[in-house]
Amino acid sequence: MRCKNTISMEPLLLKSGTHSFAVEWVCGLEASNRRDQKVTEGCRSLILASWGRCEVNFNKTANQIVIEMEVDINIQSNTTIICSQQISTCLVRVTADEEGREKKSKLIGEVKYEDAAIFNRCTSVGNFTAQLAIPLRAPPRQKSNTSIMHNDNSSHTFSQFISQYLINKNISDPSNSSPIFQDAQQALSKFYKRFCTILLTQNRNTVFVPAGKVSRSEVGQLKSIQPRMLMAPVMFYIAVSIL
């Protein structure tokens, strides 16, 4: 299938002069042939993430009518990833505490991929992954096909900001080269797992087929603390004698 997108860079945060800058974006891809539903869902389920480092000669002048901008860019390094989402399901035996927190789990079934039976009639695997990719793109205040050029060391894309926090590395500093593929992949993967877990948990009754009357109880043990008072025999006899 053929997918496409047009991405532009917006120099809103740049100061005039010659200096280094960073740019990053997370966006989706559209099908070249939108009449093919399968190709459309396939392209929309892909996530494109990129980190760039460039040097710019930026001059901005203003008069009474318009603001004129002259930009000369020299690309120094770039790291780009295209991620393909995959839904896998399996049967797992889970041990939880009395508050419902998972303590340990064990795989007891075969892993299945793209299992359409887990979704309700309102969606499909392709439609679900296509919708899941939408919140991973640029924040609502930005256009989906625009990335912000900046001189500071903070990411201006929501998902990459969270990814940077999860791997404890600064991957948006314009003074450094663009992150290596392993760091970029690890950042996006950790964010996706965290984000997907929260999204599925809060919308499980809407997304998945109801469990129905399937038994969800297991034989278990409940550990609790009971107060006990211990007394030595000599102290017992003295207490009885006094009473």
Answer yes or no: is 167 within a domain. Answer: yes
Answer yes or no: is 62 within a domain. Answer: yes
What is the domain count for the chain? Answer: 1
Q: Are 109 and 98 spatial neighbours (Cβ–Cβ below 8 Å)?
A: no
Answer yes or no: is 204 within a domain. Answer: yes
The strand order across the sheet containing 46-62 reads 17-28, 46-62, 67-84
3-state DSSP of the chain: CCEECCCEEECCCCCCEEEEEEEEEEEECEECCCCCHHHHHHHHCEEEEEEEEEEEEEEEEECCCCEEEEEEEEEEEEEEEEEECCCEECCEEEEECCCCCEEEEEECCCCEECCHHHECCCCCHHHHHHHHHHHHCCCCCCCCCEEECECCCCCCCHHHHHHHHHHCCCCCCCCCCCCCHHHHHHHHHHHHHHHHHHHHHHCHHHHECCCCCCCCCCCCCCCCCCCCCCCCHHHHHHHHHHC
User: According to the model, what pLDDT value does residue 168 have?
Assistant: 78
Answer yes or no: is 110 within a domain. Answer: no
Cα distances from 235 to residues 25, 231, 242, in angstroms, run: 75, 6, 11
Answer yes or no: is 231 within a domain. Answer: no
- Using the structure block, give the residue that is written with the tokens 């899941």: 132
Digit-coded pLDDT (tens) for 52-103: 888 888 777 766 555 666 777 788 888 888 888 777 888 888 888 878 788 8
User: According to the model, what pLDDT value does residue 241 have?
Assistant: 92
Answer yes or no: is 80 within a domain. Answer: yes
Boundaries of domain holding 69 = 3-86+115-212
- What is the distance between the alpha carbons of residues 184 and 71, in angstroms, rounded to a whole number? 28
Q: Per-residue pLDDT averaged across 155-170, rounded? A: 77
Which residue type occupies 152?
D
Cα distances from 88 to residues 112, 128, 196, in angstroms, run: 5, 13, 13
Answer yes or no: is 21 within a domain. Answer: yes
Joined together, the tokens standing for residue 199 give 């999204």
Answer yes or no: is 240 within a domain. Answer: no
Digit-coded pLDDT (tens) for 165-207: 778 788 888 888 888 888 888 888 888 888 888 888 887 777 7
